[in-house]
């Protein structure tokens, strides 16, 4: 573990939902008080989620590195250490590392009953490359 790293890298996330090498350390599970889960997600360079939606939104808190957050039909936003993204409900989006840097974020993901996320199609390599070329 690097000296500056706060959490262990955790377990690799499935390639069905994450393109490239992404990892999760779970921090808090949903319970009677917390209607959300919390985890730390590490995206190695080139790794990103597939497009997806959250029925009650999600908060991302970037704690290391450089990445992108993009909502469908909008420009990708660069995100870096200290940035917070409050993702609206039912809004198609993806997030991940840049092609050259890792990105680590804490994710607070709300539940609507037992559902947190609906996974959709991958971010195409050509679209991801265009975002990185800008």
Distance of closest approach, residue 129 Cβ to a copy of itself, in angstroms? 29
Site string for a copy of itself, 47-76 (x = CB under 8 A): ---------xx-x-x-xx------------
Which of 44, 99, 108, 117 binds a copy of itself (CB under 8 A)? It is 108
C-beta atoms surrounding 78 within 10 Å? 13
**Quick one: tokens of 2?**
């690097």
Instruction: Rank residues 78 and 88 by Cβ distance to a copy of itself and give the closer one.
Output: 88
Distances (CA, A) of 27 to 19, 56, 98: 22, 19, 24
Q: Cβ(64)–Cβ(97) under 8 Å?
A: no
33/69 Cα distance (integer angstroms): 29
Closest to 43 (Cα-Cα) out of 107, 127, 124: 107
The answer to whether 89 contacts a copy of itself (rule: CB under 8 A) is: yes
By CB under 8 A, the residues from 32 to 51 that bind a copy of itself are 33-36, 38
97/75 Cα distance (integer angstroms): 16
Instruction: Rank residues 20 and 92 by Cβ distance to a copy of itself and give the closer one.
Output: 92
Write out the residues near a copy of itself by the rule CB under 8 A.
4, 6-8, 27-28, 31, 33-36, 38, 56-57, 59, 61, 63-64, 81-82, 84, 86, 88-89, 106, 108, 110
């Amino acid at each position: 573990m690097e000296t500056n790293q706060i959490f262990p890298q955790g377990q690799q996330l499935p390639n069905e939902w994450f393109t490239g090498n992404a990892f999760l350390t779970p921090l808090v599970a949903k319970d009677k008080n917390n209607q959300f889960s919390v985890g730390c997600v590490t995206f190695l360079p080139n790794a990103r989620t597939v497009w997806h939606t959250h029925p009650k939104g999600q908060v991302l808190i970037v704690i290391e590195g450089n990445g992108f957050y993009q909502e469908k039909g909008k420009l990708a936003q660069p995100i870096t250490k200290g940035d917070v993204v409050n993702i609206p409900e039912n809004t198609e989006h993806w997030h991940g590392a840049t092609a050259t840097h890792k990105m680590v974020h804490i994710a607070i993901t709300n539940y609507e009953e037992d559902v947190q996320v609906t996974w959709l199609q991958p971010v195409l390599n050509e679209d991801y490359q265009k975002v990185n070329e800008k």
